[in-house]
Structures are given as structure tokens and as C-alpha cells.
Chains A and B, each alone.
Chain A
Amino acid sequence: MTSADTALKRPAGAPAKAEISDRGRAERRLGLLLSAPAVIVMLLVTAYPLINAVYQSLFSYRLTAPDDRRFVGLGNYGTALSDPLFWQTVVTTLIITVVTVGVELVIGFALAMVMHRAVFGRRTVRTAILLPYGIVTVISAFAWKYAFDVQSGFVNSWFGLGDFAWFSDRWAATFVIILSEIWKTTPFVSLLLLAGLAQVPRDLGEAATVDGATAWQRLKRVTIPNMKAAILVAVLFRTLDAWRIFDNVFIMTSGQEKTQVLSFLTYQQIITRTELGLGNAVGVLLFLSVVLIAAVFIKGFRVDLSQVRGD
């Protein structure tokens, strides 16, 4: 080995910063080159279409009547924001998001505890928990829909509900939608929380036990505060995910019985009604609401995203 060149012996992760050598320049070029394909694809699919969506949202434009296209400024936003249907959609989305994330946090924590503590059948439990994660959302939606459906389901006969039509009632339908969403995405939450649990120093809990703390006190005073970062990351990701809910609603109710959500409203305006101007305005509003939620979490709750990004 020729170990003459000491410049190469820099510690990992702490490169020499002083001189911009040829080697440094080559490294920069390589770094940008390696990142280019991914960045270009991500930009191509998001940046240009997003700008285009903003542009289109300024026109009254229906695909079926291209000659009637005219500039309306922020008119579409006014139409959307003053429409009771839009606000009803926001309320439905909000309820689904809050309930789903709340319940998932509790169940997810319980699952994480079982995975963390289980001495026996650990592998089996983890495999079982991953199943819903891997199942296609549309299929989960069909499974729960058919289970509650009057025609095909077993839920009514099992619980003696006669011919109660779950999907003809706003809240009953919303309940089933939430159930499917929870089933499908709790595994993700529980795995994030499991990673958080693994970070809680074991001796802290033991010390608390020695000091006579009950299980509940240990949970509240030791475990949860020590995994706050993991909890916040899980809540942030799942909140934004639930806020964009689409598949379950599409399959189960197609937005009937006032179960429309924001993503579905956007889709319906653009694809079904080919109302590109208004549809894109709703889409932009959806995008802005996501930015707002993310900003609130990151600034307000100080979610440390460097942990997420791993830098």
C-alpha cells in the first residue's frame, strides 16, 4: 500500500475544506452528476406541472368547450372558497385526518410495544404487521367495503344490524373509510414508533422502576418524552398522508353521501367534469393546505426533520 498521500487520509464525513484542489472539484462535479438524474425526474413531474396548474387555475376552461376559455384571474379560487361543497369537503377531510391519525397513534404505539417487548413470536408479529402495509390500498378498500356491504357482507349478520346500509349514511360510510385507512397504514406508524422505542435508554426505565414508578408513570414520564421525535415524525407523515386520502373514498363511496375529500374533489373536477380551471384551482388549494400543515409542524412543533433526512 502506498500511504504517502496523506490528503486521502481524512476522517470519514469530515472532508478537508481548505483548498479547492483538483480532487475537490472532481468530487463536486461527480456529486452533481450522480444527483442529476433523480433531481431531473422529480422536477419534471412536479415543478412544471405545478406551475402549469397554477396557470390553468386562472382560466375558466372546460375541456369540452375550448373556445369558451377565458382569463378569470383568481375567480376560480373565489368560486371554490365560497362554495359550501368545498367547505363540506374540507370538514370531511379534516375529520378523517384527525380521527385516523389519533387512533393510529394509539394502536400504533400498542403494536410497537408488543413488537418491542414480545419475547416469543417476534418474527411472526412483525411479518403480520407488514401485511397491511404491503396490501394495495384499493384492495383494502374493497375488503372493508364488501365486509360492510348489505349484499355481500357479514358485518350486519354478525352484529344483528339487519339491513343497515352503511354506505347510504354519511357518518357510517365515513366510519368504514376510516377503518380501512387505519388498517392499512397503522403498520407504518407502529414501525416508526418502534424505532423511537429502541432509542429510549433502557436503564432510565429500570431506574424509574427501582424508584417505585408504576407502569403508567414510566410510560408517561420516561418512555413518551424520550421518543418525542419519533412520535412527531409519525404524526407529520401520517397527517399529510391522511389529508391526501383518495383511494378508499373512490372505491367505497365515490364521494357519495357527502364523503367527498379534497383529493377526490380535485380529481372529479378535472377528470370527470373536465373542468380544468376550477379543478386546478382546487388542486392548488390542496397543495397550499399541505404546505401549511407541513409548515405548522416544522415551525410550530419543531419536528426535527434532519432526523428524517438523516443528515
Chain B
Amino acid sequence: MESARSKSLWIAASLLILVWTAFPILWIVMLSFKTPSEVGNVQGFFPKDWTWENYETVFKTDLFTSALINSIGISLIATLIGVVFATLVAYAIARLEFPGKKIILSFALAIAMFPVVSLVGPLFDLWRNIGLYDTWPGLIIPYISFALPLAIWTLSAFFREIPWEMEQAAQVDGATNWQAFRKVIVPLAAPGVFTAAILTFFFCWNDFVFGISLTSTDNARPVPAALAFFTGESYFEQPTTAICAAAVVVTVPVVIIVLAFQRRIVAGLTSGAVKG
């Protein structure tokens, strides 16, 4: 049993963690409510005059609104396809006996460690030759392939825990492998698949390297890349506060997902990594 003193020590530590993790986010929010002219004139954490001006600015800027649409569309499509592919592989690895299983797993691991920047040059070339440069598929394809490893591990770990006897029972009743997969396993696997989807979505949402290298216009440029090139409403004013407003907008979905699915994300990140 914990003594009262050590209990309050743990609580203090917890509070410290809350401050440490929330502080930079809070800071961005504060900046986003400052007037552009306050930056550089008044130092300090809190805004002197609170204003919605920056949010109006970013939503009036085509560069940002189109980037937001690009980010949402590209990330969702990449997540959907990536998770379907990962589910198929993870099922095969967890359940079927076939040659090349080990190779696939090692290969996925290698991809996870791959320095993506090394590929930027050739992909840039290739995409321009086949017309994928500055398009949605031009980003969706690399996102899928680099998000796959995490999704595959998370799902294979999850699939190991599924009561497979139910599948066998279905097979005994005359279902084929495919039917057993679709009718019995898919519903059981849904929570794991959902976790993999969250992790994949975070990966796509976070990408910057491909975003700046494989796009050139608002045709496909996602938010992180757009932020790096954002100039704000006027070239004569620092875009600081507007960038922060845009940053807050793309952080809101992340915060909502984390708040709603904390348990799943923790389970997903830990289960795939170290066998329990």
C-alpha cells in the first residue's frame, strides 16, 4: 500500500506531466488569438487583445483551405486503403501457412526504418514522368507504403488474441476460408482494425517530407507543407499568428481522436511492439 506521502508524490508527478504535454499546445492557442501586430511588440504568453482575426484570415486564404481539404482527403483515402491491405496481410500472417511469411515481416520492419528522404529524388523524377507529381495519388501511394508496417504489426499482434476456434467452427460448418474470414473474423477484428486506422491516419496527417517534395501547388499540398510556405494575409506582416490559427485547426481533430480513443491508441502502440 502506498503511503500518503508517496501518493501525493505520484499526483505531483502526474500534474507535472500534464503541464509539460499541454504547454506547447496552449502556447500555440494563445498565439493564435493574438493580433498580428502584437507579435514583436509585446512579449508574453497570453494575448493582450483577444481576437478571432487569425482564424478569419486562414479560412479566407485559399492556400490553407485547399491544403486542409487535401490533407483530409489524402489522409482518409490512404488510411482506408492502407488498413485494408494491412488487414489482409496480418490475417494471412496470423492464420495461414505459406512461404515467405518471415520475409514479409522483415521487409515491413525494414520499411519502417527506411530514411524516406533517400527516396525523394527518384520518386520526384518518377512521379513527374508518369504524371503523379502534384496529385493526390502521388501522396497517397507513399503514405500507404510507409504507414503499412505499423499497421501490419499492430494488427498481427491483435489477431493473435482473437478466438480462432470460431473460424474453425464456421469452416466445419462448410464455410470457405474466405467466408470464414469475412463473416466471423471481420466483426471480431474490427476494434484492432480501428486502432490501426487511427495510427495510420496520424502518420499521414503528420507527413511533411513527401508533402513538400512531391507537390508544388495547392492541387495536392497538405497542411504541414502549406504551413511551411505560408505567408499570411499581407507580405508586410509576420504570418506567425495566422500560422498558429491554422495549426490549431489541424490539431483539433488530433485532440478529439486522442481524447476519444486513448485506450485503443495505447493498446495499439504497445501490443505491436513488445509481446505481452
Taking chain B's interface residues, is the majority helix, strand, or loop, or is none over half, making it mixed?
Answer: helix
State whether the Cβ of B80 lies closer than 8 Å to any Cβ in chain A.
no
Given A191-B270, A308-B153: A46 and B114 interface contact (C-beta under 8 Å): yes
Q: Which chain A residue shows the least CB distance to B19? A: A128
Chain A residues positioned under 8 Å from B178 (CB to CB): 30
Chain B residues positioned under 8 Å from A195 (CB to CB): 270-271, 273-274, 276
Chain B residues positioned under 8 Å from A196 (CB to CB): 274
Min Cβ gap B147→A in Å is 10
Of B21-29, B51-59, B185-193, the one with at least 4 CB within 8 A of chain A:
B21-29
B106 touches A41 (CB 8 A): no
State whether the Cβ of B120 lies closer than 8 Å to any Cβ in chain A.
yes
Given A37-B88, A130-B262, A305-B109: A244 and B115 interface contact (C-beta under 8 Å): yes
A309 touches B11 (CB 8 A): no
B118 touches A266 (CB 8 A): yes
CA distance A46 to B109 in the complex (A): 13
A139 touches B146 (CB 8 A): no
Residues of A within 8 A of B (CB): 1-3, 5, 8-9, 12, 15, 17, 24, 26-32, 34-35, 37-39, 41-42, 44-46, 48-50, 52-53, 56, 110-111, 114, 117-121, 123-140, 142-144, 146-147, 151-154, 156-158, 183, 187-188, 191-192, 194-196, 198-199, 229-230, 233, 237, 240, 243-244, 246-247, 250-251, 262-263, 266-267, 270-271, 276, 279-280, 283-284, 286-287, 290, 294, 305, 307-311
Min Cβ gap B112→A in Å is 8
Q: Which chain A residue shows the least CB distance to B270? A: A195
B39 touches A151 (CB 8 A): yes
Given A56-B121, A125-B14, A132-B21: A31 and B96 interface contact (C-beta under 8 Å): yes
Taking chain A's interface residues, is the majority helix, strand, or loop, or is none over half, making it mixed?
Answer: helix
Given A246-B209, A247-B208, A311-B105: A38 and B86 interface contact (C-beta under 8 Å): yes
Given A41-B141, A52-B126, A154-B43: A246 and B208 interface contact (C-beta under 8 Å): yes
Given A195-B270, A290-B115, A307-B275: A143 and B24 interface contact (C-beta under 8 Å): yes
Given A30-B96, A41-B145, A130-B262: A137 and B247 interface contact (C-beta under 8 Å): no
Given A44-B145, A143-B28, A310-B157: A127 and B258 interface contact (C-beta under 8 Å): yes
CA distance A196 to B145 in the complex (A): 28
Proximity bits, B221-263, A CB within 8 Å = 1, else 0? 0011001100000000010100110010011001101110011
Given A34-B88, A130-B262: A138 and B228 interface contact (C-beta under 8 Å): yes
Within 8 A of A (CB), among B109-147: 109, 111, 113-126, 141-142, 144-146
Q: Which chain A residue shows the least CB distance to B97? A: A15
Given A130-B258, A279-B121: A42 and B98 interface contact (C-beta under 8 Å): no
B97 touches A31 (CB 8 A): yes
Q: Which chain A residue shows the least CB distance to B26? A: A143
Min Cβ gap A122→B in Å is 9
Most B CB within 10 A of own CB, among A121, A131, A151, A246 = A131
Kindly list 9 other residue pairs between chains A and B, CB separation below 8 angstroms, not including A28-B99, A38-B89.
A32-B92, A49-B119, A117-B10, A130-B262, A195-B274, A243-B115, A246-B209, A307-B273, A311-B105
A280 touches B164 (CB 8 A): no
Min Cβ gap A277→B in Å is 10
State whether the Cβ of B171 lies closer than 8 Å to any Cβ in chain A.
yes
State whether the Cβ of B85 lies closer than 8 Å to any Cβ in chain A.
yes
Q: Which chain B residue shows the least CB distance to A239? A: B113
A45 touches B238 (CB 8 A): no
Min Cβ gap A189→B in Å is 11
Min Cβ gap A190→B in Å is 9
CA distance A127 to B263 in the complex (A): 8
Min Cβ gap B174→A in Å is 8
Min Cβ gap B46→A in Å is 9
B259 touches A127 (CB 8 A): yes
Min Cβ gap A91→B in Å is 18
CA distance A119 to B114 in the complex (A): 39
A286 touches B115 (CB 8 A): yes
Q: Which chain A residue shows the least CB distance to B151? A: A38
CA distance A28 to B96 in the complex (A): 7
CA distance A230 to B10 in the complex (A): 23
A138 touches B275 (CB 8 A): no
CA distance A34 to B172 in the complex (A): 22
Proximity bits, B62-76, A CB within 8 Å = 1, else 0? 000000000000000
Chain B residues positioned under 8 Å from A276 (CB to CB): 121, 125
